[in-house]
Each structure stands twice: as structure tokens, then as C-alpha cells.
Amino acid sequence: MAIKPLLTKDFATENLHQLSVYEKTGGYAGFKRALEMQPDELVELVKKSGLRGRGGAGFPTGNKWGFLPKGMYPRYLVCNADESEPGCFKDRYLIEKSPHQVLEGILIASYAIGCNLAFIYIRGEYLPQTEALETAIDEARQAGYLGKNVLGKGYDIDVILHRGAGAYICGEETALLTSLEGYRGEPRLKPPFPAVKGLYGKPTVVNNVETVCNLPHIVLNGADWFAAIGTPTGRGTRVWCMSGHVNRPGNYELENGTPIRELIEEHGGGVWKNRTLKAFQPGGASMMVLLPEHLDVALDFDAIQKAGSLAGAGAMVVMDETTCMVDAARRYVKFFHHESCGKCTPCREGTFWMANLFDQFEAGDAKPGDIDLLLDIGYNIDGRSFCPLGDASTWFPRSVIKFFREEFQEHISEKGCPFKKSVQEAVA
């Protein structure tokens, strides 16, 4: 498709991270325009644009804003930059290349919801990106984009950049708020939802980095313009993080609805080393595996869901014929085990048990009943855990058992990983 990128259109511009350069590309024009509008108009505009959250759940952004109870202040905007989903590295890219675009989006969202103090929660591992945002905030403050009486329009806004310290769970919005309040990043019961009772018990909106990056463009070009891009249920573009066995891994911003095949074969340059595609995984570590037969599925929330997976946070992990699917699942399960906050029983104990079982497959000690045992443990976690982390820990492994059960059986019958053995035999 021939649509030009929106968020990344100027990313080739040198020193785009600097305020002056960003302004030359039209930066902060969206915020200025927004300040000319009434906050309610902005909320309506974003609702009309059909923008859906880019953090994973795909909830309509304007609706999320609209849930804030009338007349309750203060209210907070928190930008979720805790990107930690294995396979995802788009927020990092968006921040690194154009921190002001992120900030501008935050300012627009803050103004729209009537927030005077916004937060960016950035994961602890993103140190260079923390620095980039710190610098951008300083520059913007000096330029009068944030502070008291911004641009003389009578609006006060400040932004606090808050660096996490290593906990995947903090990407879950209620855990993020708990963490931002200084506690252990454990998710909270919903309801109450953050829109009603969020940060410090006040109405709060949590928006992902990529989500807010869309806002300046929507404000400048209008809801109709945005709604014309993408698919009816997936307006606009998404930045896809491609990794794994492709020739050109990296971030690619594509119009929603683009076939997966185009992403992998054209943009990613196809499967590397002239090998064959075995499987791919959209969305990130949490999401179910898809097969070559799904290559013509569109990059779109609903289309991917229909195919049996989820678009999640926009990852695309490509696996060629040499991939041990059991080992891939093992890594993810160990990841979820490592990142389980420990709050609820099924996730805490279940991921621990699954991790043990996967290690047993890897070590060649698994027994025939272990495949069904894995499925059963998954049954007792999925839909039972406190937050989606536990649920998600079971999706990829269970989908791999569904499509590649024979690989598990081979691990049992050959007392170890058949892929590693063939590599060793080839070397010998």
C-alpha cells in the first residue's frame, strides 16, 4: 500500500530529537492547534478518528478519555513507556528518534482531559531513552510548551518523567499506577477502573507512547483524514517491530490492513538464509503463534484475532524451519515465570511449574503425560489469574502444542531437542 508513514515520516531527518529540528518538521503545530480548541472538542475529535490504543488491548482512545467522571479534579495522564513485551521495541524507537513527538502527544492528551500534571513511566532499562525524554522536557519547558500558562493560553501543564526499575508487569496499567505510587508493581482490582480511581485515587488516563504519537497528526489533519487510513476497525498505521529470522529486522510503520506477507517479505526482506518460514508470532511474547497459511491475514486488530492470535503491542517475531518451537515456548514461559509479580496463585505457581516442565523437555527428561499436563496447567491459569500476565503466559505455549505437538513428542522420544541434535550432528 502506498500510504506514507505518519509517525515516522520525518525519522530520516537528522537531529529530529532536537526541538528546533522537530519544530521545522511541523512539530508542536498540533499542540498549538489543540490549544485553540475546547478540550471537549478534542475528545470528540479523537473519538471520531477511531484511534485505538497501541499498547496491546486496542481500546478506543477517545472513549477511554470520555470515561473520566465529570468535575473530578485533579486528574492525571500517564504515558505508558514501560515497553517490555518480548518482541517489541517500537516505543524505544519512537522516543529515541522523536522524543518531542511523544511529548507533544502527551500535551495534547493532557489538555484534552483537563490534566495539569502528566507522567511518563519509562522502563528502567531504557536509559538512553530516559535521557532523550529528559532533554526534550527541558527544551520544551524552556520554549514555553510546558509550565505555567503555556503559550499564553492560560493552561498549566507539567510532565514528570518516572523511570521504572525492571518489572514487566508494570506495563499493565494498574500495576504501572501502583508502581508510580512507589509500591511494588502489583496490578489492582478492576473496578474501579483508572478512569475513575487511578493514580493517587484520582481519575487517570493511561495511554501508550505510540498512541499519543498519533495525536498531533490527528489534530492537524482531522478525524476524517485519519479515519480514511487503515481499516474500518483499525484506523491509521502501526509501527511493527519485526525480529527473528528475517533479512531486515527493525521497525516498520505500515497502514493497518497491510497483509502480513508484505511486512515480512517486502519490508523485512523475507526469511533469512533462504530458509522457509515455519511460523510467526504477532503481538509479542504473549500472543499465539500463526502459520505460513496466515501470511495473507491483514495487519489489523480484528483480522489477526480472527486468525487465532492477537495484534497486541505490534511485534512480529519470525521463525524459520530450524526453529525449535518447544525452546521458543520455553523462553517465553521462563520469561513469564520471571516476571510474574507473585500476587495471585495461578500465575505465581503455574508459571513456575510450566517453566520446570519446559526445562524438563529441553533436558530430555519429559514424559508422555507432560504435554497434557502443560495444557492442564494452562487451563488452570488462563482466565483464572488476577491480571492478563498469567493468562498470556499460556497462550503461546498452548498454541505451539496445538500446531507443533509432534515437536514435543520428539523431545520425549529422542530424549532431548531434535533441532540441537541435528545441529550438533551437522557440526560433527
Partner 1 sequence: MALAKATAEQIKDLAARYPSRQSAIIPALWAAQHEQGYVTDEAMHEIAEHLGLPPSLIEATASFYSMFLTRPEGRHDVVICINAPCMLRGADEMVAYLERQLGVRDGGTTADGAITWHSTIECLGACGGAPMMQVDHRFEEDLTPERIDAIIERLRTTPASHDAEPKRPSPRPRAKKSQN
Partner 2 sequence: MATVQTEQVTLTVNGQSVTVPKGTLILDAAKKIGIDIPIFCSHPKMAPVAVCRMCLVEVEKMPKLQPACAVYVADGMVVKTTTEQVNKYQKGVLEFLLINHPLDCPICDKGGECPLQDQTYQYGPGASRYQFDKAHFDKAVPLSDKILLDRERCVLCWRCTRFSEEISGERELALIQRGVHTIIGTFNDEPAKSAYQGNWTEICPVGALTSRQYRFISRPWDLDRTPSICPGCSMGCNIQIDARNNKIGRFQSRENLAVDDSWLCDYGRYSFPNFQRQSMERPRVRRDGRLEEVAYEDAIAFTVDALKRAGGQAAGWASPADTNEELVLFRRLFREVLRSPHLDHRSAAVPDAEPDDMSLAIADIERLDCAVVLGGQEVIDAAPVLHLRLFKAQRKGLTVLKVGAGQVAEAVAGVRPDCTVVGILATEANKAAAVELQSKLQRKVKGSVRRLLVTTGPNGRGAKDLGILPHLGPGYASLNGQAGKGRTEWPGAGLRALYVHESSPLHGFTPSDAESMWLPTLPLIVFHRFKPSPLDEMAHVILPGHAFTEKDGTVTNMEGRVQRISRGLDADWVLEDWRVFQEIANGLGAGWAYESVADITAELVGSLPPYAALNRGERVLWSEPG
Is 58 a binder of partner 2 (CB under 8 A)?
A: no
DSSP structural state of residue 264: I
Q: Does 348 bind partner 2 (CB under 8 A)?
A: yes
Choices 53-61, 161-169, 206-214, 369-377; region in contact with partner 1 by CB under 8 A:
161-169
State the minimum distance, in angstroms, from the CB of residue 345 to partner 1: 18
Nearest CA among 190, 211, 196 for reference residue 70:
196
Q: 10 Å Cβ neighbour count for 276?
A: 10
Q: Which of 148, 184, 306, 420 binds partner 2 (CB under 8 A)?
A: 184
List strand residue ranges (DSSP E) for 328-415, in order: none
Indicate whether 380 belongs to the interface with partner 2 (CB under 8 A): yes
DSSP per-residue letters across 204-250: EEEEEHHHHHHHHHHHHH-HHHHHTSEETTEESEEEEEEEESBSS-E
Does residue 260 bind partner 1 (CB under 8 A)?
A: no
- Is the omega angle on the peptide bond into residue 191 within 30 degrees of 0, that is, cis? yes
Least CB distance from residue 174 to partner 2, whole Å? Answer: 13
Quick check: 64 binds partner 2 (CB under 8 A)?
no
C-alpha cell at 283: 503481538
Q: Strand, helix or coil at 122?
A: strand
Distances (CA, A) of 361 to 278, 287, 406, 426: 20, 21, 13, 22
DSSP string, 158-179: EEEEEE--S-GGGGSHHHHHHH
The binder of partner 2 chosen from 85, 139, 339, 407 (CB under 8 A): 339
Residue with smaller CB distance to partner 2, 139 or 173: 173
Residue 293 CB, nearest approach to partner 2 (Å): 28
How many other C-beta atoms lie within 10 A of the C-beta of residue 93?
Answer: 22
State which of positions 358-377 bind partner 2 (CB under 8 A): 360, 373, 376-377
Element (H, E) at 381: helix 370-381
Binding to partner 2 (CB under 8 A) within 138-167 occurs at 167
Does the footprint of partner 2 cover residue 344 (CB under 8 A)? Answer: yes
- Three cell numbers, residue 96: 529515541
- CA–CA–CA angle 264, 270, 273 (5° rounding): 145
200 binds partner 1, rule: CB under 8 A: yes
Asked if residue 384 binds partner 2 (CB under 8 A), the reply is yes
Interface with partner 1 (CB under 8 A), residue from 339, 382, 391, 410 = 339
Among 61, 174, 385, 399, binds partner 2 (CB under 8 A): 385
Enumerate residues 319-338 that contact partner 1 by CB under 8 A: 319, 323, 327-328, 331-332, 334-335, 338
Cell representation of residue 73: 479534579
Binding site for partner 2 (CB under 8 A): 167, 184, 189, 337-346, 348-353, 356, 360, 373, 376-377, 379-380, 383-386
- Interface residues with partner 1 (CB under 8 A)? 73-74, 83-89, 91-92, 116-117, 123-128, 130-131, 134-135, 137-138, 141, 156, 158, 160, 162-168, 179-185, 200, 202, 241-245, 249-251, 285, 315, 317-319, 323, 327-328, 331-332, 334-335, 338-339, 341
